[in-house]
């Protein structure tokens, strides 16, 4: 059986999908300030491809550490870039958006680093005692739904910054931006994602501290 080279891993089908995600996300950044509709479609394609790469990895048995890191880095970079624009669109709420970016980046970095340090095979393997994280990572439908709500919430805030789009009248409410409706619908899933980030960061901190304590005790013996 022929050996698999590093170059072949780089060109695994799911990793090619990852590169397409990077390209579409980057393209959306250049359109973001003046072309909200094109941005929404292209950014949305990048997010939808996120659900495809994992499926292809399992179908063709092409899972890889590089692919897992590429997927997570692309996720975090894409969302963070959109939030950067929201800081410009809503300068009053920039500190809140900055905190949310910091929470997202730090929780996922600590989570993956703690998993690798503790010898875990995947950052998605969560013990059942952590029921919320276990639900989030063990059920693909839950993971996809929560991530979709998270991205749609940010996209709704982005579209809300363009008042010329999609207004209609609602009884007892008056003139309403459709993006505001989308944001309200997605809010519960978005809040769930932020709570999961906090719990994830706490779990990672405990794993790292437990490993440090183990190493310190070994040195004393």
Average pLDDT value for residue range 160-186? 74
**pLDDT at res. 86:** 97
Whether residue 149 is contained in a domain is answered as yes
More confident residue, 220 or 73: 73
Mean pLDDT of the chain: 86
**pLDDT at res. 65:** 85
**pLDDT at res. 170:** 54
**pLDDT at res. 165:** 66
Average pLDDT value for residue range 42-58? 88
B/e letters for 117-130, b = 16+ CB within 10 Å, e = fewer, are eeeeeebbebeeeb
Average pLDDT value for residue range 34-39? 92
CATH number of the domain encompassing residue 181: 1.20.120
Q: Name every residue whose Cβ is closer than 8 Å to that of residue 190 and which is 6 or more positions away in sequence.
A: 149, 150, 153
**pLDDT at res. 39:** 93
Whether residue 1 is contained in a domain is answered as no
Whether residue 44 is contained in a domain is answered as yes
This prediction has a pTM of: 0.85
Whether residue 17 is contained in a domain is answered as yes
**pLDDT at res. 12:** 93
Average pLDDT value for residue range 52-58? 86
**Whole-angstrom distance, CA of residue 157 vs CA of residue 2:** 50
Whether residue 81 is contained in a domain is answered as yes
Whether residue 220 is contained in a domain is answered as no
Counting residues of the chain whose pLDDT is more than 90, the rounded percentage is 49
Average pLDDT value for residue range 68-86? 93
**Does the pLDDT of residue 168 top 80, yes or no?**
no
Number of domains in the chain: 1
Confidence band, pLDDT 50/70/90 cuts, at residue 176: confident
Q: Do residues 54 and 110 lie in contact, with contact meaning Cβ atoms separated by under 8 Å?
A: no
Confidence band, pLDDT 50/70/90 cuts, at residue 74: very high
C-alpha closest to that of 157 among 77, 98, 97: 97
pLDDT digit string, tens, across residues 111-131: 888 888 876 655 556 665 565
Query: Catalytic: 75?
Result: yes
**pLDDT at res. 128:** 59
**Whole-angstrom distance, CA of residue 147 vs CA of residue 186:** 10
Whether residue 221 is contained in a domain is answered as no
**Whole-angstrom distance, CA of residue 56 vs CA of residue 53:** 5
C-alpha distances (whole Å) from 142 to each of 70, 179, 187, 193 are 21, 23, 15, 11
> Choosing from 50, 53, 71, 75, which is the catalytic residue?
75
**pLDDT at res. 144:** 82
**Does the pLDDT of residue 197 top 70, yes or no?**
yes
More confident residue, 42 or 145: 42
Q: Domain residues for 29?
A: 6-215
């Amino acid at each position: 059986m022929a050996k698999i080279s590093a170059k072949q891993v780089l060109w695994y089908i799911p990793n090619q999908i990852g590169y397409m995600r990077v390209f579409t996300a980057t393209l959306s950044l250049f359109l973001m300030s003046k072309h909200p509709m094109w941005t929404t479609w292209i950014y949305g394609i990048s997010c939808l491809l996120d659900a495809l790469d994992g499926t292809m990895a399992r179908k063709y048995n092409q899972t890889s550490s590089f692919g897992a890191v590429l997927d997570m880095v692309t996720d975090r970079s894409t969302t963070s870039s959109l939030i950067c624009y929201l800081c410009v669109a809503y300068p009053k709420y920039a500190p809140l958006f900055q905190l949310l970016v910091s929470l997202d980046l730090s929780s996922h970095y600590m989570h993956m680093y703690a998993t690798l340090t503790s010898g875990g095979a995947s950052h998605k393997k969560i013990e059942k005692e952590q029921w919320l994280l276990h639900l989030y990572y063990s059920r693909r439908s839950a993971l996809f739904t929560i991530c979709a709500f998270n991205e749609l919430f940010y996209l709704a805030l982005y579209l809300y910054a363009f008042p010329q789009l999609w207004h209609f009248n609602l009884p007892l409410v008056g003139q309403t931006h459709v993006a505001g409706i989308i944001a309200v619908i997605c809010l519960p899933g978005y809040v769930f994602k932020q709570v999961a980030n906090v719990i994830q960061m706490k779990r990672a901190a405990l794993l790292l501290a437990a490993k440090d304590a183990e190493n310190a005790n070994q040195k004393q013996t």
